[in-house]
Chains A and B, each alone.
Chain A
Amino acid sequence: MNRIFKKERDAASSFSFDFFFEKAVILLLAGAFLLFILYPIFTVVLKSLTKDGTWSLDHYRSLVTPRNLELIRNSVFVATLSSVIATVLAFCVGIFAHFKGVLVRKGIYRGLMMTMISPPFISAIALITLFGRRGLISYGIFGATLNPYGWHGIVLLQSLSGVSLSAMMMMTGFAQIDNRLILASRDLGADAWHTIHKVLLPSMVPTIFSVLFLQFTMNISDFTTPIIIGGRFRVLATEAYLQVYAQGNLNGAAAMAMLLLPPAMIAFYFYRSNMRKVQTLSERSKVLDRESIHFQLPQILQWVTASITIAFFLINLVQYGNIFLTAFSRNVSGSIVFTLDHWGVFQSRHVDALIRTIYMAVTASFFATVSGMLLSYYHQRRKIKGFGALEFIGSVPYIIPGIFFGLSYIVAFHRGPITLTGTLLILILNCTFRHVSVGNKAANAAFESMDHKLEWASNDLGASKVRTLITVVFPILRPTFLVSFINAFTACMTTVGPLMLLVSPGNLVTSVLMFNEINSGRYGQGAVMGSMLILITFSVNLFAIHLLNREKRN
């Protein structure tokens, strides 16, 4: 019934303040996306198509080499493997947490927030110092010489660090499932396995694909982990980074980064088409609190998921412990010597950068989340023409290697009417638009399982579109906002790729400093910055949760 009247509802808009306000927001959103995503990328593409000032396909021609094909294979191989492993593990953690009591669930959620903070390359410190060639555990205790450098190192670090974010998304996804379905399935005599297979899994499909897509695009454009732990195993993102960083070959790097687009676009397409298919599956209301249903996971599944969850947290505990330990010590051929030297250096040099980093991350992640959610709203709910395209544009910065996006900002904003290089603003803008897709994807998943009828009801009762957005949609999306903000904030605090080329002595940020330290093998210094980033990110995340909880109580 409702669907029939949908058209009429959309047509009914008056020329009120809200109407113009909304138009302004839409225009602003579209304008910002064009100026800060499409335009910079366009300038770099242009660069990849010119050589010595004239049009030329030389940069692309020189890309087609057996070596580059191998790099593509490597990239796809590693990214697929890491994403699948992360998704499977995250699903296990998610399903385990979902059917536990509130306390356990909250505990796991907070735990995940904590573990989400470290980017994979920080984990490299732990892998190398604990299990490396002269690791404290592998060599110090067992006397074995393990080689962490290679594709296995990359996959290990990428999938481990992907689990946290993915598991949080899974938990949000599970929480959106209509619990009546589970009850119905049980009432109709289905056993637990059957219910999982026929009810839980299908309802989780959009979330699972969101997670996979996000992980895949993140991993394929990550050059930091491969460069630190990959040894001789190179991937396309690393090569693009080296083209810029080592060879100064911007045009060639631009062309190379183009190669990363097709696999990411395929992943995106897959995700989108899948979303459409399941859309009808979840247009249901949520009336039952999950505490009021009795559903137990099958015994075996319970054990397996429990042990995966516990193992995951143990590994993280070891890893974080090691980072803090490294901040206070030095590894001398497999044994520890304690020292405070690393902190002294940090205090005298890097405090300003840390404050700047926090400011940048808060601002950028706030705007990124809000615009990502608005984008999703106007596309998913309002079906405004062109927002599908905008959504794709919004996900591009996330797909392409960070260094490429950073590069595009230099090329676009180093002179002319918008000169931004060397400022803090360019970092904020870059971070904002790079992470729009985080909030966008999360909001998409939330909209998929959020009942449209609520908004229709609000409209029918006379609320304008803007009012409905503010009083109905945003409150429902609050948990999604929270998760996205935290994700974006964490990413901004620790992101390196895009900022690498944008920092100058006047606008340094901690993550870049930290990457440089770790990449130079100075793990002690790197660990100090890592510890600070972890502590601060965690506190800000807790504060965000606190604020939202308080708001909820009021």
Chain B
Amino acid sequence: MRKLGLAVLILMLMFSLIACGQEEEPEESEDPGEAVENEEETAEGDGEEEAVEEKPFEGTVLEVSVAYGGAEDSFEQFTEETGIEIEWVSLSTGAKLSQLQAEEGETTTDIWFGGGVDSYFNARDLGYLHQYESPEFENIDPKYLDPEGYFGALSLVPFGFIVNEDLIEDLELDMPSNWEDLRDSQYSGEIIMADPSISGGQYAILSSLIQVMGEDEAWDYWEAVNENVDFYAQSGGEPQQKVAAGEFAIGLTAIHGQTFGLMETAPVAALFPEEHIPWIPAPIAIFENSENKEAAKVFVDWYLSEHGQTILMEADARIMANENVAPPEEMDTLNMEQLIDFDLEEMGRERENILDRWKDVIGE
């Protein structure tokens, strides 16, 4: 009994020592140590002669904040080819931006991978991104890229509808084919879309339709659609999952490899509206605070190269940013002519105004 009590007190003391020790010794000193350890391990383990020359960053660990559905399937291949290890977290870009602001840019993360381009503009303006013009940029349409090279583009993400065919039949609804259709009261309570203040994708839909329809008409439109929406999803990926589970008939969503994947397991179809297809580029950037900038550049170059882009496309079927990579079969239904021609910068600049107005319109 007494021993237990003593053990408790000793542990308390140890705890205090750990806590005090930590105060004196900032955490950065740990990371390189870890990296070195890893290096040794991997060198002993599998790296024989070839590793040393071809993989200068063997064992370096890159931390990646991912907002790119399916991308993780390509990381293994990257590690195999470069020896650079990946630790990643799936985090929406809005959340990452908030975290960056709280940390005043002093993040331990090296790479920002995919997500809403509006957050990248914000982060760039706040000085959190590292300027790096990859040599691969020359194969990428400049309208996808940041003019000053603070971020590159991985792929193009178009938006459209995901429809549960069973439900459409059961409820005797018409297939939607256009934005205008969503106003129809037959869809009352059957439409789900994300809150644009959370989902960068939903914001892109909102903002680009405003640019193409004109302010007044666009807001009238959203007000009418609002009548059919029970509530707004709190994550950009939620609508397609809920439509697949049959909770709602129609979802507004980004259409990419994972969406097509759902079509194999659930009675859903991905449709592009007949005209005005919103889209955004999925960006990639290096954080200014990264301590592994050279390895991070290898990462960016690899993912923007024809080779890396092909592997990323296999992981998640999208139209890639690199012009030398042919679009995947799944995207055949996308009529590129109908992609909305909009101003990316303006999309980033107008965010606050548009979201304020949005709150007024939907009454939240």
* Contact B4 A474, beta carbon cutoff 8 Å: yes
- A500-531 vs B, Cβ < 8 Å mask (1 yes, 0 no): 11011110100001001001111100000000
User: Cα distance A554–B219 when bound, in Å?
Assistant: 74
* Contact A520 B23, beta carbon cutoff 8 Å: no
Does chain B have a CB within 8 A of A411? yes
Residue of A nearest to B248 (CB): A133
Does chain B have a CB within 8 A of A147? yes
* Contact B237 A522, beta carbon cutoff 8 Å: yes
Q: Smallest distance from the beta carbon of A417 to chain B beta carbons, Å?
A: 6
User: Cα distance A128–B247 when bound, in Å?
Assistant: 9
Interface residue ranges of A361-394 to B (CB < 8 Å):
366-367, 370-371
* Contact B241 A522, beta carbon cutoff 8 Å: yes
From the candidates A32, A129, A423, name the one contacting B16 in the complex (CB within 8 A).
A32
Interface residue ranges of B257-272 to A (CB < 8 Å):
265-267
Selecting from B93-101, B143-151, B333-341, the interface stretch reads: B93-101
* Contact A505 B265, beta carbon cutoff 8 Å: no
Interface residue ranges of B227-244 to A (CB < 8 Å):
230-242, 244
* Contact B11 A370, beta carbon cutoff 8 Å: yes
What is the size, in residues, of chain A's interface with B at 8 Å between Cβ atoms? 72
From the candidates A332, A418, A508, name the one contacting B22 in the complex (CB within 8 A).
A418
* Contact B9 A470, beta carbon cutoff 8 Å: yes
Residue of A nearest to B75 (CB): A349
User: Cα distance A415–B103 when bound, in Å?
Assistant: 8
* Contact B72 A248, beta carbon cutoff 8 Å: no
Does chain B have a CB within 8 A of A414? yes
* Contact B12 A470, beta carbon cutoff 8 Å: no
Q: Smallest distance from the beta carbon of B342 to chain A beta carbons, Å?
A: 22
User: Cα distance A28–B17 when bound, in Å?
Assistant: 10
Residue of A nearest to B243 (CB): A521
Selecting from A99-107, A239-247, A311-319, the interface stretch reads: A239-247
* Contact B364 A234, beta carbon cutoff 8 Å: yes
* Contact A332 B267, beta carbon cutoff 8 Å: yes
From the candidates A232, A333, A415, A520, name the one contacting B266 in the complex (CB within 8 A).
A333
* Contact A505 B64, beta carbon cutoff 8 Å: yes
* Contact B164 A422, beta carbon cutoff 8 Å: no
* Contact A232 B72, beta carbon cutoff 8 Å: no
* Contact A429 B19, beta carbon cutoff 8 Å: yes
From the candidates A244, A414, A503, name the one contacting B89 in the complex (CB within 8 A).
A503
Contacts of A232 in B (CB 8 A): 230-232, 364
* Contact B63 A420, beta carbon cutoff 8 Å: no
Contacts of A429 in B (CB 8 A): 19
Residue of B nearest to A522 (CB): B241
* Contact A366 B11, beta carbon cutoff 8 Å: yes
Interface residue ranges of A331-358 to B (CB < 8 Å):
331-334, 337, 339, 349
* Contact B12 A367, beta carbon cutoff 8 Å: yes
* Contact A523 B19, beta carbon cutoff 8 Å: no
Does chain B have a CB within 8 A of A202? no
User: Cα distance A231–B248 when bound, in Å?
Assistant: 13
Does chain B have a CB within 8 A of A149? yes
Contacts of A367 in B (CB 8 A): 11-12, 15
Does chain A have a CB within 8 A of B30? yes
Selecting from B46-54, B104-112, B173-181, B307-315, the interface stretch reads: B104-112
Does chain A have a CB within 8 A of B90? yes
Does chain A have a CB within 8 A of B65? yes
- A477-492 vs B, Cβ < 8 Å mask (1 yes, 0 no): 0000000000000000
* Contact A410 B238, beta carbon cutoff 8 Å: no
From the candidates A245, A247, A420, A521, name the one contacting B238 in the complex (CB within 8 A).
A521
7 example contacts (A-B, Cβ-Cβ < 8 A) are as follows A32-B16, A245-B98, A339-B265, A421-B106, A422-B107, A471-B1, A508-B89
Please list the 5 inter-chain residue pairs (A to B) with the smallest Cβ-Cβ separation, ordered nearest first. Answer: A521-B241, A470-B5, A333-B246, A422-B108, A134-B246
- Other A-B contacts than A67-B364, A501-B95, 18 sampled, CB-CB below 8 A, are A25-B9, A132-B247, A134-B247, A149-B231, A228-B234, A232-B232, A247-B94, A248-B101, A331-B245, A332-B246, A411-B102, A414-B103, A417-B23, A501-B99, A501-B102, A508-B89, A516-B91, A551-B1
B contact residues vs A (CB 8 Å cutoff): 1-2, 4-6, 8-9, 11-13, 15-16, 18-19, 22-24, 26-28, 30, 61, 63-65, 72, 87-92, 94-95, 97-99, 101-104, 106-109, 122, 164, 166-167, 195, 197-198, 230-242, 244-248, 265-267, 355, 364
